[in-house]
Structure 1
Amino acid sequence: MSVSGVLIRRMLRVEKHNEWTPPMGNALFFNVDSSTRGSPGEAGIGGALRDVTGQILLFFSSYLGVMDSCSDEVHAILKACQLVSSKRFLLMHHISIITYSKSIVEWIQGDDFSHLPVAHLVYDIRKFMHDMAGLEIMFKPRASNSLAVSLAKERSVNQGDRLQWRVL
């Protein structure tokens, strides 16, 4: 069994105890999260794109360097937007990017926000949402996001990037 297969199986065992619920119909859920060791501190992001059966279509984790916990969560959402836009077949689906950060969802959906260092990233995310019909950013409690949490924590302590698509 591959190393990534073992990692995903271990993360899914943790997730069984939490409340991940599948999307309905032709929709996909892209759970994202970030992890910072200190504020500011070493930061990582991660995410997993899943279909209605819970099948993982994609997972990623990336090391960001040193930053604060608000900035890294915005980076996680932006990375998910970039990955979704990179595959044409995904544009046929309604995709919800799910984060545990209610304030960042409010920044993206609102008219004003106070965290100026990431203003340009928020505007990039808004542009993705404008250009891709069926893309939304939504808040759910962290318990529903344990796979993304594990992927982000993995990168806050291990530099480098991981990206794996399931062969479709």
Structure 2
Amino acid sequence: MILLRLGWWIKGWSEDFPYSPSDIQRNPACLLWNGFSSPSIIPKSIVTSKEWIPPQNGALKWNVDASVNIASSSSAIGGVLRNCEGQFLCVFSSPIPFMEINCAEILAIHHALKISVANDGSCSQAMIIESDSMNAVAWCNNKGDGPWNMCHHLNFIRNIKKSFLNISIIHKGRETNFVADELAKQGLSRREEFIAWF
């Protein structure tokens, strides 16, 4: 988390710095960059890493994730809301009852939508929600599908999709969902929900 925060600070301080915060966390040697390095010596893993893609102008994007620890019978969810410039608008990290991972992913999507609906500034804008669970995304987008014990949450999600002017729930791999993944993992050690607006 320290490396991630350091990466955010550097990106705000130096537009020329070529690495993302997640690059720094995966490979702290990025911090040795002196401003004159040749692109040819950038590690291959950095060059080929997938970056988070901002939404179109005027839209917002949630990245959500869930984490399940079978050994401790604990589950948690996390998410980050960003605008088209990549600025953080909201983050959440919360423990939830122990459940199967795909159900937890549904709960993460559900929670992001509940936060958005309660906020006047975000509920009127086009919105994308990205999850790394193909099952959860499919169940949220297809009427009648999904686990029976998640029907209440899925119906809420589907109804919100109808009432929002423009909302999309899509699947993206974990490599572009790094911040949400970290927030979900932090939630495993929390006793109550953490939420912050910026």
Q: Identify the TM-score tier after normalising by the shorter chain.
A: 0.7 to 0.9
Structure with the largest fraction of strand: 1
Q: Percent identity?
A: 27
Residue identity opposite 2:66 in structure 1: S
Rate the CA distance shift 1:109–1:37 in 2: closer, same or farther, 3 A.
same
Aligned to 1:95: 127
What's the CA shift string for 1:105-131, capped at 9, x where partnerless?
111111332411111111111111112
| Other structure's SS at 1:23 match | coil
- Deviant stretches of 4+, over 3 Å: 15-18
Q: Are the counterparts in 2 of residues 18 and 146 from structure 1 also a CA contact under 8 Å?
A: no
Residue identity opposite 1:77 in structure 2: I
Root-mean-square deviation (Å)? 2.3
Residue 9 (structure 1) aligned to one of 5, 26, 36 = 5
Residue 38 (structure 1) aligned to one of 49, 70, 92 = 70
Query: Is residue 196 of structure 2 the alignment partner of residue 164 of structure 1?
Result: yes
Q: Are the counterparts in 1 of residues 124 and 165 from structure 2 also a CA contact under 8 Å?
A: no
Aligned to 1:131: 163
What's the CA shift string for 1:29-68, capped at 9, x where partnerless?
1000000002893001000000111100000011003111
The TM-score with structure 1 as length reference comes to 0.87
What's the CA shift string for 1:92-115, capped at 9, x where partnerless?
321101111111111111133241
**Structure 2 gaps, min length 5:** 9-20, 25-48
Structure with greater contact order relative to length (CA < 8 Å, sep ≥ 6): 1
Query: Is residue 55 of structure 2 the alignment partner of residue 55 of structure 1?
Result: no
How many pairs are equivalent? 162
Rate the CA distance shift 1:120–1:146 in 2: closer, same or farther, 3 A.
same
Aligned to 2:136: 104
| Other structure's SS at 2:98 match | strand
Q: C-alpha separation between the residues in 2 aligned to 1:70 and 1:39?
A: 18
Larger Rg: 2
Aligned to 1:151: 183
Query: Is residue 81 of structure 2 the alignment partner of residue 85 of structure 1?
Result: no
Deviation at 1:138, TM superposition (A): 1.1
**Structure 1 gaps, min length 5:** none
Residue 102 (structure 2) aligned to one of 70, 89, 93 = 70
Q: Are the counterparts in 2 of residues 43 and 66 from structure 1 also a CA contact under 8 Å?
A: yes
Q: Are the counterparts in 2 of residues 35 and 45 from structure 1 also a CA contact under 8 Å?
A: yes
